[in-house]
Copies of this chain bind each other. A is one copy, B any other.
Amino acid sequence: MSEVLEICKRAREASIELARVSTEIKNKALLAMSDALIAESEAIIEANREDLEEGRRRKISAALMDRLMLNPSRIEEMARDLRNVALLRDPVGEVVKGWRTSNGLLITQVRVPLGVVGMIYEARPNVTVDAAGLCIKTGNAVVLRGSSVALNSNLALTKVISGGVVRVGLPQHSIQSIPDPSRKAANELMRMHEYVDVLIPRGGASLIQTVIQNSTVPVIETGVGNCHVYVDAAADLAMAEKIIENAKCQRPGVCNAAETLLIHRDVVRDFLPRAVHVLTEKGVTIYGCPTTKSLCPEIEEATEEDWHTEYLDLKLAVKVVNSLEEAIAHIQKYGTKHSEAIVTEDYSAAGRFTGEVDAAAVYVNASTRFTDGGQFGLGAEIGISTQKLHARGPMALESLTSTKYVVYGSGQVRE
């Protein structure tokens, strides 16, 4: 039996036990995981040091080195996040719906764990702890496959938090990381539909496409965000300025940052110069359509490519549109159905935009940067779904559950 198969089979067994565990014990497990992180932070930092050394040898970028690095305060942050998850309401066991049929059957729809959750991710090592915490809270076993550059860190974290869950009596294989960093192992995980109920990829577009192309396990597509802010003819321009500045600059490297600004032609002369001013002051390079270039010479020429690009950087594409319809059509064509915003004081324009734009989150007069489990008030986030099945938008605890129908009868048979 291959190592990945063995891991997934053990996860399935653990999941059967986990599904029966009370909220109280699951919360104790989260606190034990949190305590273990603090108690064993030296071992974690030691393992992380190996990854950092290897990263230096492989000359990975400074930005990636920073994301990879663990220190006592980052470990404390992970430990605190686990304690916060313990405070959230447990969705498992909720009776979602219930009714009595005409023949007297009582039908109830009850929330249950998914079973085994697979995660494939490129992100910081804290995703290892985050994902494990959310899965434990929802009674799921988790199989983790992080980035190879963080392998030692992830294995150390997994060992430490697994120790925590075992201490309160949960199954040893509730949380497992795949120690084989090869592509072959990742591909094997993608074919484990007999043992894994869902696969959540988190990372760049190419990782996510690889998972979609190769997985027989149901996938939740996450994260790619070519997000737009559309400044309508009836926009409050001071508000629009603040929103585009925030959506582009507050944290440019994330999926809910804006990548294209669309401006209605009626306000472009008033709005464009002030927007360009505030954005260039923040270091943003702007790629614009010919009309914008003619108004602001500091704008560089946009190519077709720019409308498609998720820069994840201090770069912004800008285009003048003739109408609300043209803005919506542009978003339809180039958007990735993540987060889209209109700035307008026009009631009908707001209604048409929110009705017709097909995206996980559509905003009126607010920054796209709010598409986030924490900002939405969900208390957590395991990813942002950009697909339409199962979950759409920020995914928290409920997205890690399924339901089952429990039907109570008194001898009913079908006529």
Segment of A32-40, A298-306, A354-362 engaged in the interface with chain B: A354-362
B412 touches A366 (CB 8 A): yes
One of A63-71, A267-275, A386-394 at the interface:
A386-394
The count of chain A contact residues (Cβ–Cβ below 8 Å) is: 69
Contact B407 A366 (CB under 8 A): yes
Main secondary structure of the interface of A (DSSP, over half): mixed
Residues of B within 8 A of A109 (CB): 393
Q: Which of A181-231 contact B (CB under 8 A)?
A: 193, 197-198, 212-213, 216, 218-220
Among B19, B243, B375, B389, point to the contact of A197 (Cβ < 8 A): B389
- The residue from B365, B393, B411 contacting A242, defined by CB atoms under 8 A apart: B411
Interchain CB contact under 8 A, A414 and B375: yes
Q: In the complex, A365→B409 CA distance in Å?
A: 5
What is the interface of chain A, defined by CB distance below 8 A to chain B?
Answer: 16, 19-20, 99, 101-102, 105, 107, 109, 112, 114-115, 193, 197-198, 212-213, 216, 218-220, 236, 239, 242-243, 245-247, 250, 332, 350, 354-356, 358-367, 369-371, 375-377, 387-390, 392-393, 402-414
Can you list 28 pairs linking A and B with CB atoms under 8 Å apart?
A19-B358, A105-B370, A112-B358, A115-B388, A197-B389, A198-B388, A218-B218, A218-B219, A218-B389, A220-B389, A246-B413, A247-B413, A359-B404, A361-B404, A361-B405, A361-B407, A364-B408, A365-B409, A366-B407, A366-B412, A367-B412, A370-B407, A371-B405, A375-B414, A389-B390, A389-B402, A392-B404, A393-B405
